[in-house]
Amino acid sequence: MHYIDLWYTASLPIKAPANALECLKNMIAFSKIDSRISKDVCDKIKNHLWYLSEHTVGFSFFDEGVQIEELRKMVTHSKTEKAANKLSLG
């Protein structure tokens, strides 16, 4: 029944990154029950992650369902990435 919440929020772009991550986490956990199905579903989900990019993943900052600790990690990582990009661009 993990999928009902994901289904109802699937059309909300702000929730897309968190939904994709949550779905993958659920499938990885499901591998304890049936690893073959879990792998097949994860492979299919990965085919649908094309819409996640450095630009659209920013929608997560506006998702009320993302915990503050996760938001802090996202900010820290984004600062680290920007610094690395500046160094590589010279």
> What residue segments make up the domains of the chain, in order of their start?
3-89
Q: At what angle do helices 16-30 and 35-47 cross, to 10 degrees?
A: 160
- Of 5-9, 11-15, 47-51, 79-83, the one with minimum mean pLDDT is 79-83
Q: What is the pLDDT of residues 17-62, one digit of tens each?
A: 888 888 888 889 999 999 999 999 889 888 878 777 777 778 888 8
Q: What is the pTM of this model?
A: 0.62
Q: How far apart are CA 38 and CA 50, in angstroms?
A: 20
Closest by Cα among 59, 60, 54 to 85: 54
Task: List, in order, residues 6 or more apart from 15 with CB less than 8 Å away.
Answer: 9, 59, 63, 65
- Residues in the chain, overall count: 90
Q: What is the pLDDT of residues 70-79, one digit of tens each?
A: 889 888 887 7
